[in-house]
Amino acid sequence: MEPDNTRVDVEISFCVVNTNGRELLMRCLDAVRAERAQLAVGSEVLVLDNGSDDGSAAAVRARGEQIQLIELAERRGKALNDSELMRRSRGRYCLLLNEDSELLPGAAAALCAALADDPRAACAVAALRRPDGAPQASAWRFPSVGTALAGALLLGRRWSVQSTGAVVRRVDWGQSAALAVRRDAAEQVGWMDPEFFVYSDEVDFQKRLADAGWHSLYVPAAAAIHHEQLSSDTLPARRIVELARGRDRYMRKHHGALAAAIVRWLTAWTYGLRALAALVVPGHDPRRYRADAVAALWPARGSGLREAASEYNAARRSR
């Protein structure tokens, strides 16, 4: 679909990346439509379909709405896809959403109002909730040897999580499941780094923004349900590998090889403790934590989501 070029006063660009999440995407877009109906400013919707084969693109077209639909023939990394959406957007603020994110009433207005009230704020993150309504952390301190040590001492959540309180507060970084971004700031730092396929991409992005003099905000008045499709699919082993890769890439990029090595060992220790606890705590799988520990120690080993996408693309080309 083509963008609505008749509107020149776009303030908010809703930017959604979807990968084989048709049903959740429809719920996401229903929420976006409800948000747009309540906004007092102009807005637009961009959906990037990341090589889906579940009819997602056709479902977007069938809605009959003014949605700029970008259909990729092959799958790419999330950092690259989010960057493309921001580049194509016309709004002052880009509200980045996963297909498994469902904005609750007033979230978009609250996020963008927070950015408008703070000229040096580049990002504003929503308060995330699980489908059952339970709170989910959405903002943290930047990763470092200190945060890894806190995790190894079983103080990670208390020390690192920053998405707390009932008022807007400055945080280090917020999760991109529902993240409003000042477009000019994103352009200033060169968008997201495509070397991060997925995981740690938004952390690196907000670290580079912080290094350039910007900061991020947590906005508790803005809420979104996060269905966490990415953590419940059929590729847990590859996601574990990709998560470890992203963490290690971030540490090496921003803190150097020595710090990255220390974090690898501290993180593996933390997962090792969880594996031991999972032997006696119901509902936890020690094999999962052991896999996390191994991936933390040797992030270059194994096959991750980048390889999964390459295999998927090769299979599509051979049809």
Q: Tokens for 5, please give them.
A: 């070029």
Q: Give the mean model confidence (pLDDT) for residues 208-224.
A: 98
First to last CA, the chain: 26
Average pLDDT, the chain: 94
**Which pLDDT value is given to residue 228?**
76
Where does 10-231 sit in CATH, by number?
A: 3.90.550.10
What single string gives the DSSP state of each residue in 250-313?
HHHHHH-HHHHHHHHHHHHHHHHHHHHHHTTSTT--HHHHHHHHHHHH-TTSS--HHHHHHHHH
**Which pLDDT value is given to residue 232?**
43
**Which pLDDT value is given to residue 319?**
82
| pLDDT exceeds 50 at position 5 | no
Q: Give the mean model confidence (pLDDT) for residues 167-187.
A: 98
The helix (H) or strand (E) run that includes residue 180 is strand 178-182
Compute, in degrees rounded to 10, the torsion defined by CA atoms 248, 78, 209, 126. -110
Q: How far apart are CA 301 and CA 206, in angstroms?
A: 27
**Domain residue spans in the chain?**
10-231, 236-318
| pLDDT exceeds 80 at position 187 | yes
Percent of the chain residues topping a pLDDT of 90? 92
Tokens 């031991």 belong to which residue? 276
Q: Give the mean model confidence (pLDDT) for residues 29-54.
A: 97
| pLDDT exceeds 70 at position 4 | no
- pLDDT tens column, 239-277: 999 999 999 999 999 999 999 999 999 999 999 999 999
- pLDDT tens column, 126-163: 999 999 999 999 999 999 999 999 999 999 999 999 99
| pLDDT exceeds 60 at position 238 | yes
Q: Give the mean model confidence (pLDDT) for residues 74-91.
A: 97
Reported pTM? 0.93
User: What b/e sequence results for 72-84 when a residue is b if at least 16 CB atoms lie within 10 Å of its CB, and e otherwise?
Assistant: beebbbbbbbbbb
* pLDDT band for position 2 (cuts 50, 70, 90): very low
* pLDDT band for position 229 (cuts 50, 70, 90): low
- pLDDT tens column, 10-23: 999 999 999 999 99
| pLDDT exceeds 80 at position 90 | yes
**Which pLDDT value is given to residue 235?**
63
Backbone angles phi, psi at 301, to 5 degrees: -85, 160
- pLDDT tens column, 280-293: 999 889 999 999 99
Q: How far apart are CA 53 and CA 241, in angstroms?
A: 24
| pLDDT exceeds 90 at position 7 | no
Q: How far apart are CA 312 and CA 303, in angstroms?
A: 13
**Which pLDDT value is given to residue 62?**
98
Q: Give the mean model confidence (pLDDT) for residues 302-317.
A: 94
Q: Tokens for 160, please give them.
A: 């690192």
**Which pLDDT value is given to residue 3?**
42
